[in-house]
């Protein structure tokens, strides 16, 4: 009965959630890499909101950064004491920084003046990651207002720097030994429209640059040169097919359930049509199933490049420009996944499935540190897009699920 009463009270907080998210999203929080001054102003507003709501005093764990005013990036952790005295705690980790709006002409509204239309709140940072900030706050507020203590200690973490790698945010709080391996960590930074999956593992991510060097000549006299574009095109088609065929392991936990090896970006070569290019540069983006041999993939690409070099006379150069190896998966039967699944079922009446993704989330930092983390939220995945929005009904339902998690995990 106590839990039902708390969940019902969340419905009455809907307008307050919208108002709070609106106020937060009026304040830009851009990283220095995006020509911003950091997150300090938004943290100041967030601190005032938490004080007004009667939350316990949080603790800041700043990371030094001379690029921003004040010389530090903030990471605020608020502890709501549980009744069980259990060593393990529940963490909800949301990030305060946002990405720039991008091309303003693509926005139908001012990205920093959020507006409600059709049951959605439009504005930069509303979904990514303002929704998580607000749902975690109001889940805890519902308990505080009702005088109900969570079963375990609840740790609400509001961090910096997620959009550019989390060095001053999640990686910093991990280095401070704030999070324990037995803790239940939820990162509401990705999800689905109906909240029906819980992300527990990610693929490795590799990006490769291919440079093919031939010999430039007039297009009417191809025999005098070596067409780098032609040589590259033949190689790109064959190497992608070869990798798909050789590294064909499947795991239905993932969507899609296999590795992907896609040619993507291609740079311009010669500026005029009647010249055979002597150099051609293109890129690949690979999302690779955990456990597959990353170095073997590169070796196979180089071996095929040598074969194409003998055929065409062109020189093939390959460079791995980015590599992020998959972190260990969060076990599908881990306490965080099991507890979160029960709360989703209790509130939404659906069975959420564990899932692996090809994209990357900041939960990988926890997993690399040996801390199982689950990524979950009910969102339309509008992050980084123009006209980003948060669905208002999702604010309410996700807050209910977090409140249920706090009371039952």
| pLDDT tens by residue, 248-295 | 999 999 989 999 999 999 999 999 999 999 999 999 999 999 999 999
| Burial letters 305-337, b for 16+ CB under 10 A, else e | beebbeebebebebebeeeeebbebbebebbbb
| Burial letters 199-230, b for 16+ CB under 10 A, else e | bbbbbbbbbbbbbbbbebbeeeeeeebbbbbb
261 with 243: CB under 8 angstroms? Answer: yes
Which of 261, 266, 251 is CA-nearest to residue 300?
A: 261
Check pLDDT > 90 for residue 13.
yes
The H-or-E segment that residue 355 falls in is strand 353-357
140: Cβ–Cβ under 8 A, 6 or more apart, which residues? 55, 78, 80, 154, 156, 402, 403, 406
Check pLDDT > 90 for residue 129.
yes
The H-or-E segment that residue 394 falls in is helix 392-408
291: Cβ–Cβ under 8 A, 6 or more apart, which residues? 249
The H-or-E segment that residue 94 falls in is strand 90-95
Which of 47, 21, 31 is CA-nearest to residue 126?
A: 21
Task: Specify the pLDDT at position 3.
Answer: 85
Average pLDDT for the chain: 97
Topology alike, domains 2-202+327-408 and 204-324: no
Q: Which two tokens stand for residue 155?
A: 């740790």
Task: Read off the pLDDT of each residue in 82-96 and give the average, rounded to a whole number.
Answer: 96
Which of 210, 187, 190, 221 is CA-nearest to residue 372?
A: 187
Task: Specify the pLDDT at position 1.
Answer: 64
* Residue 116 C-alpha from the chain's centroid: 25
pLDDT tens digit sequence for 166-212: 999 999 999 999 999 999 999 999 999 999 999 999 999 999 999 99
pLDDT tens digit sequence for 384-409: 999 999 999 999 999 999 999 999 99
What does R_g of the chain's alpha carbons equal in angstroms? 25
Using CA atoms, how far apart are residues 101 and 242, in angstroms rounded to an integer? 39
167 with 173: CB under 8 angstroms? Answer: no
Using CA atoms, how far apart are residues 61 and 77, in angstroms rounded to an integer? 8
For domain 2-202+327-408, give the CATH superfamily: Zn peptidases (3.40.630.10)
Question: Confidence class of residue 8 from pLDDT cuts 50, 70 and 90?
Answer: very high
What CATH number belongs to 204-324?
3.30.70.360
Task: Specify the pLDDT at position 169.
Answer: 98
Q: Locate the DSSP E strands across 106-259.
A: 115-117, 120-122, 154-159, 184-187, 197-202, 204-213, 217-218
Burial of residue 124 (number of CB atoms within 10 Å: 0-12, 13-18, 19+): buried
Classify residue 283 by its DSSP letter: E
Question: Confidence class of residue 2 from pLDDT cuts 50, 70 and 90?
Answer: confident
Domain ranges of the chain: 2-202+327-408, 204-324
Using CA atoms, how far apart are residues 138 and 397, in angstroms rounded to an integer? 11
* Cβ neighbours, 10 Å, residue 118: 8
């Amino acid at each position: 009965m106590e839990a039902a009463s708390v969940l019902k009270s969340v419905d009455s907080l809907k307008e307050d959630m919208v108002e709070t998210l609106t106020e937060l999203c009026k304040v830009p929080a851009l990283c220095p890499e995006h020509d911003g001054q950091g997150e300090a102003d938004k943290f100041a507003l967030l601190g005032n909101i938490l004080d007004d709501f009667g939350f316990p005093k949080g603790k800041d764990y700043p990371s030094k950064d001379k690029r921003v005013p004040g010389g530090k990036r903030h990471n605020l952790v608020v502890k709501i004491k549980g009744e069980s005295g259990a060593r393990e705690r529940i963490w909800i980790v949301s990030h305060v920084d946002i990405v720039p709006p991008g091309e303003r002409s693509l926005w139908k509204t001012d990205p920093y003046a959020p507006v409600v239309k059709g049951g959605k709140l439009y504005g930069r940072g509303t979904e990514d990651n303002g929704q998580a900030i607000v749902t975690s706050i109001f889940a805890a507020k519902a308990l505080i207002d009702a005088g109900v203590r969570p079963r375990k200690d609840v740790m609400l973490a509001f961090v910096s720097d997620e959009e550019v790698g989390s060095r001053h945010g999640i990686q910093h709080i991990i280095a401070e030994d704030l999070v324990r391996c037995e803790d239940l960590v939820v990162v509401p930074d990705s999800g689905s429209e109906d909240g029906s999956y819980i992300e527990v593992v990610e693929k490795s991510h590799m990006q490769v640059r291919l440079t093919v060097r031939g010999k430039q000549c007039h297009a009417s006299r191809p025999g005098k040169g070596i067409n780098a574009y032609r040589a590259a095109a033949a190689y790109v088609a064959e190497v992608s097919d070869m990798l798909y065929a050789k590294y064909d392991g499947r795991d239905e936990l993932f969507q899609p359930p296999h590795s992907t090896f896609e040619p993507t970006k291609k740079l311009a070569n010669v500026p005029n049509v009647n010249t055979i290019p002597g150099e051609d540069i293109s890129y690949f983006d690979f999302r690779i199933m955990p456990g597959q041999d990353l170095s073997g993939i590169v070796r196979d690409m180089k071996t095929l490049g040598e074969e194409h070099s003998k055929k065409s006379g062109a020189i093939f150069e390959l460079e791995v420009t980015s590599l992020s190896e998959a972190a260990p998966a969060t076990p599908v039967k881990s306490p965080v996944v099991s507890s979160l699944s029960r709360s989703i079922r209790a509130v939404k009446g659906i069975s959420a499935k564990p899932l692996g993704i090809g994209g990357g989330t900041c939960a990988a930092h926890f997993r690399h540190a040996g801390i199982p983390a689950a990524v979950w939220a009910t969102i339309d995945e509008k992050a980084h897009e123009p006209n980003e929005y948060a669905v208002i009904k999702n604010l309410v339902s996700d807050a209910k699920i977090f409140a249920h998690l706090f009371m039952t995990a």
